[in-house]
Amino acid sequence: MSGQEKRSNGRTVAILLGVAVLMGALSWAAVPFYSWFCRVTGFAGTTNVAEAASDTVLEEKIRVRFDANVDPNLGWTFRPMQREMELRIGENALAFYEAVNNTDEPITGTASYNVAPDAAGYFFNKIDCFCFTEQTLQPGERVEMPVSFFVDADLVNDRDAGRIRDITLSYTFHRTDPPAPQQAALDHETEPTVN
């Protein structure tokens, strides 16, 4: 093999290695980028998080329906405590979901969520929601979990979403690993005893 062929093969290997590294970096960044994109645009029915209630409330009404689903291996019953509510656009509302652990073991779950139609996602704002954190239910435990939300008044002026007057808020609970024990509790357990 000549020196020129070796350099050509070396260049090809370097290019292929560079492409592999670039593809790995792009695949690593895809999930956080997609999550950010959905939050910013409301794409795929992703909702927004608001710091406070809306300061603009219209007389026009909107109906919000509530939907609940459970991953089959979770062992929970999960349902909305109201099927729907009618509220003024911009009005802050409080809805509740019920979860029951039907097993004989503690189970931790996380709720994924979206709204339909997708175009409403950008205007649906949650102030507080059980879906922001993991939920751990003890055997047989029943809890009522709140979600505080409003539909932004800018919805009525949007070209795509302006005619929407029915929104479905949907949650699906998935099993997750239980949260790690608090470090302080671990430190306390491992402290030597003084005699």
**N- to C-terminal Cα distance for the chain?**
77
pLDDT over threshold 70, residue 186:
no
Give residue-wise pLDDT tens across range 110-154. 999 989 999 999 999 999 999 999 999 999 999 999 999 999 999
Q: What is d(CA 14, CA 22) in angstroms, rounded to the nearest whole number?
A: 12
| Domain locations along the chain | 1-41, 46-176
Helix (H, G, I), strand (E, B), or coil: what is residue 135?
Answer: strand
Half-sphere exposure of 148 (CA within 13 A, CB side): 8
pLDDT over threshold 80, residue 178:
no
Q: Which residue has better confidence, 4 or 153?
A: 153
Range name among 39-43, 80-84, 163-167, 168-172 with the lowest pLDDT average:
39-43
pLDDT over threshold 90, residue 103:
yes
Q: Residue type at 5? A: E
Helix/strand/coil percent split, the chain, to 5? 35, 35, 30
**Strand-pair partners of 113:** 171
How many CB atoms neighbour CB 67 within 10 A?
16
* Residue range 46-176, CATH number: 2.60.370.10
Mean pLDDT estimate for the chain: 82
pTM attached to this predicted model: 0.68
The pLDDT assigned to 138 comes to: 96
Place of tokens 């929601």: 129
pLDDT over threshold 80, residue 165:
yes
The pLDDT assigned to 18 comes to: 77
